[in-house]
Amino acid sequence: MFPKLPLFPEEASTLAGRVDALYFFLVGVAGFFAVLIALLVIVFAVRFRRRSESDVPRPIHGSLALELTWTIIPFALAMVMFFWGAQVYLAIARPPDNAEPVYVVGKQWMWKIQHLEGRREINELHIPVNRPVKLIMTSEDVIHSFFVPAFRVKQDVLPNRYTTLWFQATKTGTYHLFCAEYCGTEHSGMIGHIVVQDPAEYEAWLGGASVTASLATAGENLFQQLGCITCHRGDTGARGPALDKLWGTTVSLQGGGTAVVDEAYVRESILNPQAKIVAGFQPIMPTFKGLVNEEGLLQLIAYIKTLTEQPGEAGAPAAPKG
């Protein structure tokens, strides 16, 4: 006996049902019209065939009702598809504010994952059930694509920028993780698993023995090692802008314009500091390209976030959340 293979992956996230409903609607509409048109072609070919050489068809004067019918119905169906698809897209594209952040780095040919609490994983991601999770992702080399069929989510992972993906698992268990973008000779081996656990089990795993320091603590250590504190001291004589309470704000730039302080802005400021210079400061910051890898950048970003979440005393960086 051959094993029974499911026609579709299991629905295991809050988004899966919405994606499937839209998909089946689109397939149903396409199938209905494909069958209808095929039948009409056959019926018309038989009924209105030319029966003799002298058979001349009667002139057609048209029908306003028929023209309106085959214009309004397809238009209405197209609008239903558009607005329904837009709602699903916006639901996928907008993570909830309380989503738990997890950092992902794609690399030929593996997924490297860091949790804020310090746990690291390769080709495996542990998450709690019934809690939204937001992935902040980048690539060290080529374009990858983070794809979890059971959650009905997929997002390209690009070099030199960050993309995000969120989901909320509804069932405990282990689910397949794939790279859905051809990324080299061993692309087919770039696979992994999403392990969905009960909250208590997940918290126990998160605080396991392998945790040495939180992501923010590692970022603080790197911040000190690179000498960033020399310029970003937070006092009036500092040569760089103060970083406490900076995350999420909008800064004014030299030459006009503004920028929102987020993951992309901080990453660019570390690797290409001359791209966007904060008004009132000189372009003296050196680039750290080649000195800090993608995981180090994520650690620095996590640390800078904590400076806003838990500001420290004037003139010194805040103590990160541990």
Classify the C-alpha dihedral 181-185-189-192 as positive or negative.
negative
String of b and e for 168-196 (b: at least 16 CB within 10 Å)?
A: bbbeeeebebbbbbebeeebeebebbbbb
Is the same domain home to 201 and 246?
no
Percentage above 90 pLDDT, the chain: 50
159 and 257 within one domain = no
Asked if residue 87 belongs to a domain, the reply is: no
Q: Which tens digits make up the pLDDT trace of 258-307?
A: 989 888 888 888 888 888 888 888 888 888 888 888 888 888 888 888 88
Do 224 and 294 fall within a single domain? yes
CA nearest to 147, candidates 117, 192, 107? 192
To the nearest whole number, what is the mean pLDDT of the chain? 87
pLDDT top residue among 89 and 8: 89
pLDDT tens digits, one per residue of 31-70 = 999 999 999 999 999 988 888 877 777 787 878 888 899 8
Length of the chain: 322
- The CATH number linked to 231 is 1.10.760.10
Region of 234 (left: φ > 0; alpha: ψ -120 to 50; beta: rest) is left
Same domain? 188 vs 235:
no
176 shares its domain with 263: no
Instruction: Specify whether the CB–CB gap between 239 and 284 falls below 8 A.
Output: yes
- Structural domain total, the chain: 2
Q: Is residue 82 part of a domain?
A: no
pLDDT digits (tens, 9 = 90+) for 79-101: 999 999 999 999 999 999 899 99
E strand or H helix at 266, and its extent?
helix 263-271
Judged against a pLDDT cut of 70, whether residue 211 lies above it is answered with: no
Q: What is the pLDDT, as a whole number, of residue 51?
A: 80
Tell me if 152 sits within 8 A of 19, measured CB to CB.
yes
**Does some domain include residue 85?**
no
Cβ neighbors of 56 (< 8 A, separation 6 or more) are: none
Domain span including residue 282? 215-309
User: Is residue 148, in this structure, part of any structural domain at all?
Assistant: yes
CATH code of the domain containing 169: 2.60.40.420
pLDDT in tens, 223-251: 888 888 888 876 766 788 888 888 888 98
SS3 139: strand
* 167, 136 contact by CB (below 8 A): no
pLDDT confidence of residue 117: 87
